[in-house]
Amino acid sequence: MHKFVSVALDVPINKLFDYKCTFDNPEVGARVKVPFGRSTRVGIIVKIFQNIDNSGSYKIKEIYDLLDDIPVITPELLKTSKWTAKYYHYPLGQVLFNSITPIQRKNQATPKKKYEQEKILKPESLMLNDEQLKVVKSIDKNINKYQVHFIHGVTGSGKTEIYSHLASSLLKDNAQVLILVPEINLTPQTVSRFQKYLTIKPLEYHSHLTSLQKYKVSQACRDESQLIVIGTRSAVFLPFKNLKLIVVDEEHDQSYKQNEKFKYNARDISIVRAKNFNCPVVLGSATPSFESLHNINIKKYKQYKLLNRFHKSKMPLITIVDTSVDKPDEGLSKVLKDKMKSELDKNKKIILFIGRRGFSNTVLCSECKTIVKCPKCNTIMTYHKNVERLICHQCEFSQKFDSVKTCCDKPSLVPLGVGTQRVENKVKELFPNKNVLRIDSDNISSKKELKNFIESAANNKIDIFVGTQMIVKGHDFPNISLVGIINIDAGLYSTDFRGLEKTGQLITQVSGRAGRQKSQGNVIIQTNNPKHNLLLKILKEGYEEFSKVALKERESVNLPPYSHIGIINISATSKYKPKSILSEIVKFKKNKSVFVYGPSPAETFKKNNAYSYQIIVGSKSHKLLSEHITRIKLYLASIDSKIKWYIDIDPAQ
Ligand code: ADP
Ligand code: ZN
Ligand 1 atom with the smallest distance to the CA of 154 is: 3
Task: Give the CA angle between residues 566, 572, 577 to the nearest 5°.
Answer: 85
Q: What is the pLDDT of residue 453?
A: 72
**Mean pLDDT lowest among 310-324, 411-425, 558-572, 634-648:** 411-425
Per-residue confidence (pLDDT) for residue 623, from 0 to 100? 95
Q: How far apart are CA 639 and CA 633, in angstroms?
A: 10
Give the side-chain half-sphere CA count within 13 A for 381. Answer: 28
Quick one: which atom of ligand 1 is closest to the CA of 512? 4
Name the closest ligand to CA 374.
2
Q: What is the pLDDT of residues 97-150, one digit of tens each?
A: 999 999 999 877 777 777 777 776 688 889 999 999 999 999 999 999 999 999
Average pLDDT of span 55-79: 89
Mean pLDDT of 240-255: 96
Side-chain half-sphere exposure of 429, counting CA atoms within 13 A: 9
DSSP H helices, 409-532, are 420-430, 447-458, 489-492, 499-511
Which ligand sits nearest to residue 609's alpha carbon? 2
Confidence at residue 231, expressed as pLDDT on a 0 to 100 scale: 97
Select from 124, 130, 161 the residue to mutate for testing ligand 1; criterion: most ligand atoms less than 8 Å from CB: 161
Assign residue 494 the CATH number of its domain.
3.40.50.300
Give pLDDT, residue 270: 98
Using CA atoms, how far apart are residues 395 and 566, in angstroms rounded to an integer?
A: 25
How many residues does the structure list for the chain? 653
pLDDT of residue 357: 40
Cα gap 202→195, rounded to integer Å: 7
Residues 582 and 617 in one domain: yes
pLDDT of 368 over the 60 cut: yes
% the chain with pLDDT above 70: 90
Assess whether 204 and 244 both reside in one domain: yes
Measured CA to CA in angstroms, residue 400 lies from 88, 259, 595 at distances of 42, 30, 47
- Closest C-alpha to 122, from 33, 232, 196: 196
Q: Answer yes or no: do 292 and 430 share one domain.
A: no
Q: What is the DSSP string of 300-341?
A: SSEEEEE-S-TT-PPPPEEEEEETTTS--BTTB-HHHHHHHH
Contact 246, 274 (CB under 8 A): yes
Based on the fold, state whether residues 504 and 544 are members of the same structural domain. yes
- Summarize the confidence of residues 346-373 as an average pLDDT: 72
Residue 345's φ and ψ, nearest 5 degrees, are -60, -30
Beta-strand (E) ranges in 82-197? 147-153, 176-180
Query: How far is it, in rounded angstroms, from Cα 621 to Cα 556?
Result: 17
Give pLDDT, residue 358: 36
Decide if pLDDT at 359 tops 50.
no
Ligand minimally distant from the alpha carbon of residue 398: 2
Residue 197 Cβ inside 6 Å of ligand 1? The answer reads no
373: in domain: no
Strand, coil or helix: 119? strand
The verdict on 569 and 548 lying in the same domain is: no
Q: Is residue 444 domain-resident?
A: yes
Do 30 and 90 lie in one domain? The reply is yes
Residue 513 has a pLDDT of 75
Q: Using alpha carbons, select from 109, 102, 110 the residue that is nearest to residue 10.
A: 102
Is 336 found in the same domain as 278? no
**Ligand 1 touching residue 476 (CB < 6 A):** yes
**Confidence band (pLDDT; 50, 70, 90) for 362?**
low
Q: What pLDDT score does 490 carry?
A: 67
| Ligand 1 atom nearest to CA at 160 | 6
- How far apart CA 596 and CA 137 sit, in angstroms, is 46
Query: What pLDDT does residue 293 have?
Result: 97
Check residue 120 and give its pLDDT: 67
What is the atom index within ligand 1 of the atom nearest the CA of 310?
A: 12
169 and 208 fall within a common domain = yes
Task: Provide the β-strand partners of residue 522.
Answer: 317, 482
Q: Are 582 and 598 in contact (CB under 8 A)?
A: yes
Other CB atoms closer than 10 Å to residue 125's CB: what's the count?
8
Question: What residue numbers bound the domain in which 63 lies?
Answer: 3-105
Chain-centre distance for alpha carbon 317: 30
Asked if 56 contacts 90 with a C-beta cutoff of 8 angstroms, the reply is: no
Name which of 83-87, 184-188, 475-479, 563-567 the model is least confident about: 475-479
For ligand 1, whether the C-beta of 127 sits within 6 Å is: yes
pLDDT tier for residue 512 given thresholds of 50, 70 and 90:
confident
Whole-angstrom distance, CA of residue 44 vs CA of residue 540: 55
Tell me whether residue 403 is in a domain.
no
- 398 in any annotated domain: no
- 494 assigned to some structural domain: yes
Of all protein residues, the one whose alpha carbon is nearest to atom 22 of ligand 1 is 128
Domain-ending residue, one of 278, 306, 334? 306
509 lines ligand 1 (CB under 6 A): no
Give the sign of the dihedral formed by CA 199, CA 205, CA 208, CA 213.
Answer: positive
The answer to whether 16 touches 8, Cβ cutoff 8 Å, is yes
Question: Reduced to 3 states, what is the DSSP secondary structure of residue 362?
Answer: strand
**Rg over CA atoms, the chain:** 27
Q: Which of 484, 429, 438 is CA-nearest to residue 457?
A: 438
The residue whose CA has the least distance to atom 23 of ligand 1 is 128
Residue closest via CA to ligand 1's atom 27 equals 158
Question: Do 183 and 292 have their domain in common?
Answer: yes
Q: How far apart are CA 48 and CA 5, in angstroms?
A: 4
Please state, in angstroms and rounded to a whole number, the distance separating the CA atoms of residues 634 and 612: 20
- What per-residue confidence (pLDDT) applies to 575? 80
Q: b/e for 460-469, b at 16 or more Cβ within 10 A? A: eebbbbbbbb
Distance 497 CA to ligand 2 centre (A): 25
Number of independent structural domains in the chain: 4
pLDDT of residue 360: 46
Q: Is the pLDDT of residue 88 over 60?
A: yes
Give 417's DSSP letter.
S
- pLDDT tens digits, residue range 153-205? 998 899 999 999 999 999 998 999 999 999 888 888 899 999 999 989 999 99
Answer with the residue of higher pLDDT: 564 or 598: 564
Compute the distance between CA of residue 423 and CA of residue 353 in angstroms, rounded to an integer: 10
Q: Where residue 391 falls among pLDDT bands split at 50, 70, 90?
A: confident
Which domain CATH number covers 642?
Answer: 3.30.70.600
Cis-peptide into 102, omega within 30 deg: no
Last residue of one domain, picked from the residues 105, 121, 146: 105
Domain holding 79: CATH number? 3.40.1440.60
C-alpha angle 199-204-209 in degrees, rounded to nearest 5: 145
Between the two ends of the chain, the Cα-to-Cα distance in Å is 53
Both 341 and 249 in one domain: the answer is no
The residue whose CB lies within 8 Å of the most ligand 1 atoms, and thus the one to mutate among 127, 310, 472, is 310
Shared domain check, 573 and 511: no
- Residue 176 within any structural domain of the chain: yes
Q: Is the CB of 128 under 6 A from ligand 1?
A: yes
Asked whether the predicted pLDDT for residue 65 surpasses 90, the reply is yes
- Shortest-distance atom of ligand 1 to CA 127: 23
H, E, C per residue of 512-551: CCCCCCCCCCEEEEEECCCCCHHHHHHHHHCHHHHHHHHH
pLDDT tens-digit series, residues 309-327: 888 777 788 999 998 889 8
Mean of all residue pLDDT scores within the chain: 88
Burial code of 588-602, b = ≥16 C-beta within 10 A, e = fewer? Answer: eebeeebbbebbeeb
Q: Is residue 466 part of a domain?
A: yes
pLDDT tens-digit readout, 399-442: 887 777 667 777 777 665 567 788 899 999 999 999 998 877 66
Instruction: Indicate which atom in ligand 1 lies nearest the CA of residue 193.
Output: 16
Please check whether residue 390 is in contact with residue 381, taking contact to mean a CB–CB distance below 8 angstroms: yes
Give the residue, 372 or 49, on which the prediction is more confident: 49
Same domain, 481 and 526: yes
**Mean of the pLDDT values across residues 471-489?**
77
Tell whether 549 is covered by a domain. Answer: yes
Q: Which residues pair with 383 in a beta bridge?
A: 390
Percent above pLDDT 90 for the chain: 58
Ligand 1 midpoint to CA 437 (Å)? 25
Closest to 115 in 3D by CA, of 179, 202, 191, 177: 202
> For 290-299, what is the mean pLDDT?
97
Q: How confident is the model at residue 476 (pLDDT cuts 50, 70, 90)?
A: low
- Section 295-321 average pLDDT: 90
Q: Which residues surround ligand 2, an ion (CB under 5 A)?
A: 374, 376-377, 392, 394-395, 397
Residue nearest to atom 15 of ligand 1 (CA): 158
